[in-house]
A and B are shown apart, each in its own frame.
Chain A
Amino acid sequence: MRLRLSRARARRPGGPWRRSWIASLQLLPVLLLWLLPRPGAGEDRVIVRGNYYREASTRVLQPTVDVEVDVPDERLSLGTAYVLDAISSASIASGAAEVTGGDQVFTEIRHEVLGRASSRLGDWGLGGFFRYSTETDYISRSAGASASRDLLQRSLTLSLAYAYNFDRVSRIQMNTMVVLPWCGGSVDIALCQPTGHGARTNLRQVHYVSGGYAHAWHETLLGLASVEVARTLGPQDNPYRGAQIPTSEVEIHPLQRTQVALTGGARWMIPRSPVVLEPRYRFTTDSWLIKSHAIDTRVHVRALPHLRLRARYRYYRQSASFICLDSPGDDLDDGSQFFCSTTEGEFATADPKLGAWHSHTPGVQVVFELDALAGIRYLDWLENGWVEATYNHVFQSNRYGNARLGALAFSLAF
């Protein structure tokens, strides 16, 4: 693993990079994905995935397994999933790096379990989930519910979902390895409480609401749209990233944030062809003044009766947060060191996610449907199974550098 890090004053090996990977506030939409009705509903299914992410200073291996069963049919489906994150990142002990032989790589583990239930009752769909995630200095819990209603002979589906995330954030002290609650850079760590709620506690809460629209506009055309709103309260800065900010001892972000995402897309099967076009566009804005645009275009081709190919291109661009407005020369993250602070020092950040930058992501996917083999003697258990391989390459303009995403997955119905 080639490491590209700099600066001294690290508080914890691998801390800023690992935390920046894990402390994702907006995983709630992901969890609600599992409540969608899937093709082949009415059959029990297991999905095993191996995900891989690598950039200059972080590598993530993520095996997952997901099982869903109907008891006894789609009127009640129960599912569970287990996710393991193995995050390898670099220390920022650059001051001693040359003496000690260079940067070291540390690997930390996150465990996540998820339970969910969903039900189809006529034209109504109902669902709920609970998720628990734990790692050395971060505990996260989420719960959510969704309802959907089919209309127009099931040509139109409207949905509404709510989820609540409640996390406890901690920080590991260098040398002593003592775990202390973290209430954000604006709160004295000595006054921070590990229980209760409010500004002087390490509770981070996210309220998430979404409304969805899916409509078959034609027998070969499906339209999709959604509105999502997230409100986050509590510490949102990184307890280990202060070492990267010359003007502040710690990273200080506001304790509240409101985000809105508007998404539209379509899937169109070109008549008398095996090709499906899938354009998507997403716009987000938030109370930290960051606006983002994402265009994600996919082309699906059924090359053979049981072989699907997909090409993808995604363009993403975002503006800088308000923290960088007082120093506009710093707001463009051009791949070198990045930090900004407000004039009065009220807020400071070294988070590349709060700078202005853009990325290009081309990708390919191959899916082989195992029905092709199910006709062979003793292989009938492969019916409705599939194997999937995906690769995406991210060209990022910020200091994270380019990244590679790979995934292998297979699924069996039983």
Chain B
Amino acid sequence: MPEPNVWCTAPVTRLRIVVLGGSVGMALLTGCVTVSPAERQQLSKPEMTPATDASEEVWHTHVEAAREAGFGGHGAAGGGCGCG
């Protein structure tokens, strides 16, 4: 059975342009920022480390996947910053 095709019909809105432009601008501004290992004391604390929450995020993702149509956003973001 066919599924509706949203990809070809979705209009390009001003909001999307702003979001895309903002993302590209942010990437350019921060693209080569380097924080040396000696400066990463704060970043290595548990409250600054996404992987600290991994076991809890598993549970929240399970609940949200069972109750919401949306998905993701709970940890595919990069594998940490190498700060540990």
Q: What does the 1/0 interface line of A284-325 toward B look like (CB < 8 Å)?
A: 111111101010000010100000101000001010011000
Is B40's CB under 8 angstroms from A219's CB?
yes
Nearest CB of B to A98, in Å? 29
B18 within 8 A of A: no
Nearest CB of B to A127, in Å? 9
Is A24's CB under 8 angstroms from B65's CB?
yes
Is B33's CB under 8 angstroms from A155's CB?
yes
Beyond the given A27-B65, A288-B4, please list 8 additional residue pairs across the A-B interface where CB-CB is below 8 A.
Answer: A23-B66, A24-B65, A211-B76, A223-B26, A226-B72, A226-B77, A353-B69, A405-B59
**Given the known A-B contacts A157-B78, A261-B70, A318-B68, are A49 and B55 also in contact in the complex, defined by CB atoms under 8 Å?**
yes
Expressed in whole angstroms, the Cα–Cα distance for A41 and B83 within the complex equals 11
Which of A150, A226, A267 has a CB less than 8 Å from the CB of B82? A150
Q: What are 25 contact pairs spanning A and B, CB under 8 A?
A: A26-B61, A29-B61, A30-B65, A49-B59, A51-B59, A53-B63, A148-B79, A155-B33, A158-B78, A213-B78, A216-B35, A216-B40, A216-B81, A217-B33, A219-B39, A219-B42, A224-B50, A225-B77, A226-B77, A261-B71, A267-B48, A269-B42, A300-B47, A322-B4, A409-B56
Is B80's CB under 8 angstroms from A157's CB?
yes
B13 within 8 A of A: no
Expressed in whole angstroms, the Cα–Cα distance for A54 and B48 within the complex equals 30
Which A residues are CB-close (under 8 A) to B33? Answer: 152, 155, 215-218
Is B54's CB under 8 angstroms from A33's CB?
yes
Is B73's CB under 8 angstroms from A226's CB?
yes
Q: Residue on A with the closest CB to B83?
A: A216
Is B75's CB under 8 angstroms from A302's CB?
no
Expressed in whole angstroms, the Cα–Cα distance for A284 and B56 within the complex equals 22
Q: What does the 1/0 interface line of A241-259 toward B look like (CB < 8 Å)?
A: 0000000000000111111
Which A residues are CB-close (under 8 A) to B68? Answer: 292, 316, 318, 353
How large, as a class, is the contact surface on chain B? 35 or more
Expressed in whole angstroms, the Cα–Cα distance for A290 and B64 within the complex equals 15
Q: What does the 1/0 interface line of A370-414 toward B look like (CB < 8 Å)?
A: 000000000000000000101010001000100101010100000
Which B residues are CB-close (under 8 A) to A39? Answer: 44, 46, 49, 51-52, 84
**Given the known A-B contacts A216-B83, A287-B5, A354-B69, are A27 and B61 also in contact in the complex, defined by CB atoms under 8 Å?**
yes
**Given the known A-B contacts A20-B66, A37-B51, A223-B30, are A29 and B59 also in contact in the complex, defined by CB atoms under 8 Å?**
no
Q: What does the 1/0 interface line of A350-368 toward B look like (CB < 8 Å)?
A: 0011100000000001010
A10 within 8 A of B: no
Which A residues are CB-close (under 8 A) to B23? Answer: 225, 264
Which of A155, A218, A284, A403 has a CB less than 8 Å from the CB of B69? A284
A330 within 8 A of B: no
Which of B7, B26, B79 has a CB less than 8 Å from the CB of A159? B79
Expressed in whole angstroms, the Cα–Cα distance for A267 and B77 within the complex equals 13
